[in-house]
Amino acid sequence: MLPQGRNPVAIFKVIIMKKKPFIAAIVFIALLIPATITVSGVTLGSVAGSDDNIFSWIIWVISQLSSGMWASLALFALTLIFSMPLGLFVCFARRSRFKVVELVAKFYISVMRGTPLMLQLLVVYYAPYYLFKIPLASSYRFYAAIIGFSLNYAAYFAEIYRSGIEAVPKGHYEAAKVLGYSNSQTFMKIVFPQMVRHTLPPVTNEIITLVKDTSLAFAIAFLEMFTIAKQVSASESNIMPLFVAGAFYYLFNLIVSFVMGKIEKKMNYYTT
């Protein structure tokens, strides 16, 4: 029995909103199950064009997108693994007391942020051939995508890190000096934790953008999920595969937002 005066529909909405990330995770895993089965070599059968069972047809579409789903996930994960530490290195170079190092870092950041990511992917992919006459293997597309994305996102992360470091009050540096901390101890024990806390919201925005930007890898003919979705959509003369791909991106970003929100709450020491 529901308490008197409570609207069942309203209660249902509250439950859905509170459990939304968990529901997204369940649906996201459900999307990957047929993908995993297909990658393992088990076919689910083509029911394209069948109006009798829409659920079976969606499962067939997901099975067609299977390799692209895993390719997008791999591109996303490896880009983060390489770009976040590289961004910290570029941040240090950007704040260097040596003018030449600082200018090189500024130029790198301005180029990465001032030119289209698609163009950067094309340069990374074709540069070995045009500069050194190295034949381009088809497997190089994946590595070129990782390199291009990592170099691009490192520039954005570098500026985010720099803003977080410069947000730390100078009094904290002075207090660390009084306590006898070395420069490395000051950074690791005082500056770095505050920098992480300050930069989590913009870093989350960049990570969410990265999920969607993986679709730009089509520029070098890398078969990520959205590229395959367009091919299936064209071959079947049906727009549904694009909506399935959109659902994948949305659910993935929902999970990312939830995880980063939890981390942000953990890092917010001053919230009771």
CATH number, domain at 85? 1.10.3720.10
pLDDT tens-place values along the chain, 272 residues long: 444 445 544 544 554 555 555 555 555 555 555 444 444 444 444 444 444 567 777 788 888 888 888 999 999 999 999 999 999 999 999 999 999 999 999 999 999 999 999 999 999 999 999 998 888 888 899 999 999 999 999 999 999 999 999 999 989 988 988 988 988 899 998 999 889 988 999 999 999 999 999 999 999 989 888 989 998 888 888 888 888 899 999 999 999 999 998 888 887 765 54
The domain tally of the chain equals 1
Token pair of 99, please?
Answer: 């003018």
Rounded to whole angstroms, how far apart are CA atoms 210 and 233? Answer: 24
Classify residue 97: in a domain, yes or no.
yes
Classify residue 8: in a domain, yes or no.
no
Classify residue 63: in a domain, yes or no.
yes
Q: Name the pTM for this structure.
A: 0.79
State the alpha helices, DSSP H only, in 65-135: 66-94, 99-114, 117-132
87: which residues sit within 8 A by CB, 6+ positions away? 153, 154, 155, 156, 157, 158, 160, 161
Classify residue 72: in a domain, yes or no.
yes
Classify residue 272: in a domain, yes or no.
no
Classify residue 158: in a domain, yes or no.
yes
